[in-house]
Chain A
Amino acid sequence: MAGADLAAPGSGKKKKGQKRKAKKRVNVRIDMTPMVDVIMLLLTFFMLTTVFKLPQTMEINIPPDSNISVEVKMSELMTLRVLADSTIVYNMGIEDAQAITFKDVRPLFQEKKSAIPGLIVLVKVEREGSFSQMVDVMDEINLADITRFSLAPYTDKDKAVVRKLRGM
């Protein structure tokens, strides 16, 4: 185009006999507003409905019958009582109970797991406790790679242990 302009300076019209015919450039302007509207709508829809975090699951196995008794060594058994006020009272075998908080559970598990390879953990959650407490403790057990554990009901005996500990 620029070349054509140079060839005929000052004249607006081009001669018809020119070899190269300049293409007619039509300046098309499409009004994109409706399209943008629709796209924005779709975008907001997808942004609002999308979830990046989908729920995962945690597998739990329970013994088929609660009356089956398994003999375990007292020295390998750790009883963990989770109280509703999120204190955790634990004891090894027949040793005395100790009260700890939830954040001490991870180091405790690591320590005991390395000391006793065949560690068995018995988890007793108070009925008044919350579901998340149980999930948290189960999560710690899974993280510590403790394969032998069991959920047991929180009994009067456990209440007595806690009472004794609190009384001292």
Chain B
Amino acid sequence: MIRKKARVNIHIDMTPMVDVIMLLLTFFMLTTQFKPDVVAEVTLPVSHSAIKLPESDVMTIVVTKDNQLYMELDSQNLRAKLFGEENKLKLGIQIPDKNTLADLMIKARVANPKLRTVVRSDKDTEFGQIEDVINLLQKVKITRFSLVTMLEES
């Protein structure tokens, strides 16, 4: 015996919910800052330093946990010039060895003297690799550079 179910037409007033959701949506839309694109994912170390990362004219050297080197440039023109036309749309390229990196750094600085150097590395990267990069920076006369860190609250 199948009893016919009584169909109750429920009307829920969604207006308050919509209000709240709209509020949240506006909040997120206004506060959102999209995750910056990266060529290789790294876990950043934490520090108390709160200097903002420059937005333009940045050359980023990425050292991953497994000691891979990457170089990122934010300007498309510069990428076309240095990495070749085919890599123009890529954020950065992998660097096979440290001499190539030194070479590219010099070329990049010549092409754009305003370029700021940023080193981004995983917190578990062996320090030796960083030391090599720092020595390389010294060799190509980049005496001022920044390390990317996460702000630690305390």
Contact = CB atoms under 8 A, between A and B. Distances in A.
Contacts of A49: 32, 34-35
Nearest to A51: B35
A132 B49 contact: no
Q: Most A CB atoms within 10 A — which of B32, B135, B147?
A: B147
Nearest to B148: A55
Given A33-B14, A39-B18, A143-B48, A134 B130 contact: yes
Interface of B: 11, 14-15, 17-18, 21-22, 24-25, 28-29, 31-36, 44-53, 63, 118, 120-131, 134-135, 137-138, 141, 143-151
A128 B128 contact: yes
Contact of A56 (B52, B137, B145): B52
Interface stretch (A14-22, A40-48, A96-104): A40-48
Q: How large is the interface on A (under 10, 10 to 19, 20 to 34, 35 or more residues)?
A: 35 or more
Contact of B127 (A32, A54, A64, A134): A134
Interface of A: 29, 32-33, 35-36, 39-40, 42-43, 46-47, 49-66, 125-136, 138-139, 142-143, 151, 153
A37 to B, nearest CB: 11
> Among B18, B127, B134, B146, which residue has the most Cβ atoms of chain A within 10 A?
B127
Contacts of B21: 36, 39-40, 43
Contacts of A51: 33-35
B124 A130 contact: yes
A55 B32 CA distance: 15
Nearest to A61: B144
A135 B149 contact: yes
Nearest to A43: B25
Counting chain B CB atoms within 10 Å of each CB, which of A43, A47, A151 scores highest?
A43
Given A51-B35, A129-B126, A130-B124, A59 B146 contact: yes
